[in-house]
Amino acid sequence: MNLSKRILVGGPVAAALALGAAAPAFAQVSGETAFVFNTLSFLMCGFLVMFMAAGFAMLESGMVRSKNVATICVKNISLYSIAGIMYYLIGYDLMYGIDAGGYIGSFSLFWSPDDTAALADAFPTEDAPGYAATSDWFFQMVFVATAASIVSGTVAERVKLWPFLIFVVFLTAVIYPIQGSWEWGAGWLDAEFGFSDFAGSTLVHSTGGWAALMGAIIIGARRGKYGADGRVNPMPGSSMPLATLGTFILWLGWFGFNGGSQLALGSAADAVAIADIFANTNAAAAGGVIAAMLASQVVFKKVDLTMALNGAIGGLVSITAEPLAPTLGGSILIGGVGGVLVVLAVPLLDKLKIDDVVGAIPAHLVCGIWGTLVVPVSNSDASFGGQIVGIIAIGLFVSIASAIVWFALKATIGVRADEEDEDMGLDRAELGMEAYPEFGAGSQRI
């Protein structure tokens, strides 16, 4: 069986107990100590993933034009907030309150933790989970937010604020949790197809990518992006250092994203696994950067900073489906292919007139598929057939569900800013402010 996103109840504790019988007592991680370690891992890795929200905010702030920067900031902080609230209201139970092999979880409201067993000092029993309930909730919550963050970058500079946030409500409350339940909730994909997605190349990154792709298609490209003659007009981002900072923050957060997905730190085996995951995650990102730089030198005859940055993200997404099994060298290669895919996919999207402001679809969707497909090469528990079923099932579900929500918003309150507002910039149109009132466009009005 492949790795599931949940610690089986009593799993690591029972394991520690079993080991306990065969070795001197002082050599063992005790039940309560393992409980603390596991909880600490969720919290530490969780705050790293939480900080990825800042990474997306900076990456997107740097990649949009200055007239839309304040709006992308408000979208990023509010989408993170909505994700946390919706996952509490309904999402977590929908994702994890599912029968093994099932298709949908329970529609309960207001999740609340139950740590009775642990607080009664009942660690060694089979019924006690090996971590604080809320630490798991927190860790899973920041993953939902990540999926939503991916969308905001793609549809930036033309989507209206409130309709976008309503989309985020549906994505984080319903769409993400349902597809997540199929695998990490131990639903049908996990049970019947042995689909394997350790930390979410498909479940998080492709999910965000499909939702973004549907948005980009349904909302349409920015005005003037694609000329009638097939010309692509570059619309360079306003701040390359902020985009770079955002990428570094994402890279940092990814140690938590992949490392925490081991879901335990309460034994030497877990510690070894997380250490390997950290190094592999870093190696894939490094491979992605260098491969994207070399590829852009070859394809475009120059190195492009945004390609290097998206190469890092592409490398990180590529290793996310299986950051444990590959060697360091294998991780560099997996990430390197991701970096090349980014460089190839960016112009392809432009050819299709799909306007992805920050390059999220190449990095998160394309590399998410690649990373998921390559799992069986290093992990013999996974099969190519199972991986393809998972990619298609989740891709279809998320795409259709997202398209329905985007279309419903379009048909009712509208999703797209007026032409005039788009030209003026969403900051002045929607917020009545400017991100840089003294610089660039802003300074001309002083």
Smallest distance, a second copy to C-beta of residue 132, A: 4
Mask of contacts with a second copy, 198-237, x by CB under 8 A?
--------------------------------------xx
- Which residues between 159 and 178 bind a second copy (CB under 8 A)? 161
Query: Per rule CB under 8 A, is residue 413 in the interface with a second copy?
Result: no
- Which residues between 242 and 301 bind a second copy (CB under 8 A)? 242-245, 247-249, 251-252, 255, 259, 265-272, 274-276, 278-279, 282-283, 285-287, 289-290, 293
Residue from the set 5, 15, 63, 66 that interacts with a second copy by CB under 8 A: 66
First to last CA, the chain: 64
Query: Per rule CB under 8 A, is residue 388 in the interface with a second copy?
Result: no
Smallest distance, a second copy to C-beta of residue 79, A: 10
b/e per residue 240-271 (b: at least 16 CB within 10 A):
eebbbbbbebbbebbbbbbbbbbbbbbbeebb
- Which residues between 420 and 439 bind a second copy (CB under 8 A)? 430-439
Query: Per rule CB under 8 A, is residue 389 in the interface with a second copy?
Result: no
Number of residues lying near a second copy (CB under 8 A): 133
Query: Per rule CB under 8 A, is residue 98 in the interface with a second copy?
Result: no
Contact 135, 39 (CB under 8 A): yes
Q: Choose among 4, 33, 1: nearest CA to 16.
A: 33
Smallest distance, a second copy to C-beta of residue 413, A: 14
Query: Per rule CB under 8 A, is residue 124 in the interface with a second copy?
Result: yes
Query: Per rule CB under 8 A, is residue 363 in the interface with a second copy?
Result: no
| 65-73, 210-218, 349-357, 388-396 -> range binding a second copy (CB under 8 A) | 65-73
SS (H, E, C) the chain: CCCCCCCCCCHHHHHHHHHHHHCCHHHCCCHHHHHHHHHHHHHHHHHHHHHHHHHHHHHHHHHCCHHHHHHHHHHHHHHHHHHHHHHHHHHHHHHHCCCCCCCCCCCCCCCCCCCHHHHCCCCCCCCCCCCCHHHHHHHHHHHHHHHHHHHHHHCCCCECHHHHHHHHHHHHHHHHHHHHHHHCCCCHHHHHHCCCCCCCHHHHHHHHHHHHHHHHHHHCCCCCCECCCCCECCCCCCCHHHHHHHHHHHHHHHHHHHHHHHCCCCCHHHHHHHHHHHHHHHHHHHHHHHHHHHHHHHHHCCCCHHHHHHHHHHHHHHHHCCCCCCCHHHHHHHHHHHHHHHHHHHHHHHHCCCCCCCCHHHHHHHHHHHHHHCHHHHCCCCCHHHHHHHHHHHHHHHHHHHHHHHHHHHHCCCCECCHHHHHHCHHHHHHCCCCCCCCHHHHCCC
Smallest distance, a second copy to C-beta of residue 43, A: 6
Query: Per rule CB under 8 A, is residue 133 in the interface with a second copy?
Result: yes
Query: Per rule CB under 8 A, is residue 182 in the interface with a second copy?
Result: no
- Which residues between 317 and 346 bind a second copy (CB under 8 A)? 327-329, 332
Cβ nearer to a second copy, comparing 218 with 279? 279
Smallest distance, a second copy to C-beta of residue 361, A: 21
Smallest distance, a second copy to C-beta of residue 61, A: 4
Smallest distance, a second copy to C-beta of residue 102, A: 25
Cβ nearer to a second copy, comparing 367 with 373? 367
Query: Per rule CB under 8 A, is residue 397 in the interface with a second copy?
Result: no
Mask of contacts with a second copy, 43-62, x by CB under 8 A?
xx-xxx-xx-xx--xx--xx
Query: Per rule CB under 8 A, is residue 378 in the interface with a second copy?
Result: no
Smallest distance, a second copy to C-beta of residue 87, A: 10
Smallest distance, a second copy to C-beta of residue 56, A: 10
| 123-131, 197-205, 225-233, 381-389 -> range binding a second copy (CB under 8 A) | 123-131
